[in-house]
Amino acid sequence: MAGTCKRSFGFTVNFGVAPLSIAVMRLNGVPPSREDLPLRALVTDVHLRSAVAGLRALGAAGTEVLALAPSWLGAGLRSRHARGRAAGPDAVADPAGFAACVGALGAEFGPLVVYPGQEAAIDALLAAPRPLLDKLVLPYSSPESLKAVRDKRSLAELCAGVGLRAPKTLFEGTAAELLEGRISPPFMLKPARPGGTLGSAAPVGFEHELRTRLVGMPPDEPLLVQERAPGPLTAVALVLDRAGRVVSRFQQEARRTWPPEAGPSSLAVSVPPDEDLVTRSARLLAEVGYSGLAELQFVGDGRGRELIDVNPRFYGSLPLALAAGVNLPAAWHANVTGAPTPSPGHYRVGVTYRWLEADLSAALRGSPRLLLDRARSPRTGSMWASDDPLASVFLAASAAGARIRRRLPKCHRVAT
C-alpha cells in the first residue's frame, strides 16, 4: 500500500511497515508548474560514469533532468546538468526498494521518462507493480522487445535473419552443468542474460580458470560458452524510432580494451559509419519491435564481424559519441517524448576516447607503458568534462576509492 509523503528538507515515503527514506534537494525550491515544461527525465544510477554521461547529454540538450544515486556521494548528484537530486536504495542490493523510490519520484515530479543506468535497474523496473510506476515512462517500445535484445541466447537467431553473424555457441546451461561437462578451454564464458553473478563476458584459457570463475556462483545460474571471435571491437550505436527508422547513429573502433579480449573500450576512435552494418543492425532491432537507444558490439574485421552484445542503455564510451557531435541521449529523449527527431548527419571522425582508469589497471598488472601512450587529439575521456568539473572530481574520487578498497585486506571481526 502506498505510503504518505512528509516534506522537510526532503521527504519520506512509507511502504508497508518499512520506511523508505528518499532525500531530495531542489535547486530552485518548489518544482515549477508542469504546464509550460516538456517531459522531464530521470536518470538513475548516477554513481556510474555511463549514467553521468547520459545525464550530461540530456542536460546539455535542454532537458530538465532529475538524478538518482544510491548515496549522496554519487557523482551525478554534483553535476550542473541535474536540476533535481535524489538518493535512494541501490538497484543491485535492494531492487524492490529502488523501484519504490523511482515510483515515489514519479508521483512527486512526474510524469518522468526513466533512463535506467544499469542492467539491475532495468530488471527492477520491469518487475515492479504497474501502479507503483503510474507516473513513469520507460523509454522502450515493449518489455518483449527489450528482453529479446538483452538475451544473448537469442542473438544468433536474430543475426541470421538480417545477414549478420554471432559467435558459435558451444554450451548453454547452468553453472553446475558446465562444471560436470566436457567443454575444454579456450572459450568465452558469458552470462546468458543480464543480472547474473558473472556480470560480463570473461575469456577462459585453462581448466583451472574456469573453476575459479565458477566458485561461489549459484549452481542454477544460466551461462553461455561461445567461441572466441578474433579481431578488434567495433560498436554501432543507434537510436530507432517506433517505425524502425534510424534517427541517430554513431560508430567507433577500439584500439584496446580492458580487460584484454573481453572488456569494454579503453582506447577508441570515431570512424565513418559502415552503412551496410548500420542498416543490418537497424533491421535486427526493428524486427523484434525495438525502438530507442541500442549499442551493438561486434568483434572482427569488416568481412567477418560477429555480434557479441546489445546494450539498451547509456554505455561507458558514450562520451566519444558526444565529443564527435552525436547526442544519442537527446535523440532518444526526443523519440520517446514525440519531439521532432533529425535525420542522421555527419560527425567528426578521428576523435579519440581514453578510459584512464583501465590503463591504470593495466599498468598495475605489468603494462606501465600504456600510461605514456597519449591519446591523439581531438580527444575525450571517460569521466572529465570541462563544463562539469565537480561531477568529474567525484567520479575520479569514486574510482580511486573503489580501487583502494579492492586492494586493502579484508577485515574480520573477532568475536569476544
Q: What is the pLDDT of residues 212-240, one digit of tens each?
A: 888 888 888 888 888 887 788 999 999 99
| pLDDT > 60? residue 395 | yes
| pLDDT > 80? residue 415 | no
Cβ 416 vs Cβ 386: under 8 Å: no
pTM of the model: 0.85
Per cent of the chain over pLDDT 70 is 85
Confidence band (pLDDT; 50, 70, 90) for 355?
Answer: confident
Average pLDDT, integer, range 171-184: 84
Confidence band (pLDDT; 50, 70, 90) for 404?
Answer: low
Class of the CATH-defined domain 5-138 = alpha beta
Q: Which residue has the higher pLDDT, 217 or 408?
A: 217
> Distance between CA 171 and CA 214 in Å, rounded?
15
Least confident of 13-17, 76-80, 225-229, 330-334: 13-17
In this predicted structure, what is the pLDDT of residue 115?
98
Taking each helix axis from N to C end, the angle separating 328-337 and 49-60, rounded to the nearest 10 degrees, works out to 70
DSSP strands (E only) in 9-92? 11-15, 18-26, 40-43, 65-69, 82-87
Give domain limits for the chain.
Answer: 5-138, 168-226, 233-385
Q: For the beta carbon of residue 35, count every other beta carbon within 10 angstroms.
A: 5
Cβ 373 vs Cβ 296: under 8 Å: no
> Distance between CA 400 and CA 384 in Å, rounded?
14
CATH classification code of 233-385: 3.30.470.20
| pLDDT > 70? residue 102 | yes
In this predicted structure, what is the pLDDT of residue 66?
95
| pLDDT > 90? residue 193 | no
Cell output for 223 = 551461462
* Mean per-residue pLDDT over the chain, rounded: 83
In this predicted structure, what is the pLDDT of residue 402?
66
Confidence band (pLDDT; 50, 70, 90) for 208?
Answer: confident
Q: What does the chain come to in residues?
A: 416
Per cent of the chain over pLDDT 90 is 52
Confidence band (pLDDT; 50, 70, 90) for 1?
Answer: very low
How far, in Å, are 113, 244, 298 from residue 224 at the CA level?
A: 33, 29, 17
* Antiparallel, parallel or unpaired: β 187-191 and 222-226: antiparallel
pLDDT in tens, 110-136: 899 999 999 999 999 999 998 888 899
In this predicted structure, what is the pLDDT of residue 214?
84
| pLDDT > 60? residue 11 | no
Q: Which helix (H) or strand (E) holds 284?
A: helix 275-287
Confidence band (pLDDT; 50, 70, 90) for 39?
Answer: confident
Burial of 86 (0-12, 13-18, 19+ CB in 10 A): buried
Least confident of 92-96, 303-307, 394-398, 402-406: 402-406
In this predicted structure, what is the pLDDT of residue 173?
87
DSSP strands (E only) in 16-81? 18-26, 40-43, 65-69
Average pLDDT, integer, range 357-384: 76
How far, in Å, are 115, 153, 183, 221, 410 from residue 217 at the CA level?
A: 29, 20, 18, 7, 20
Confidence band (pLDDT; 50, 70, 90) for 180?
Answer: confident
Peptide bond into 194 cis (omega under 30): no
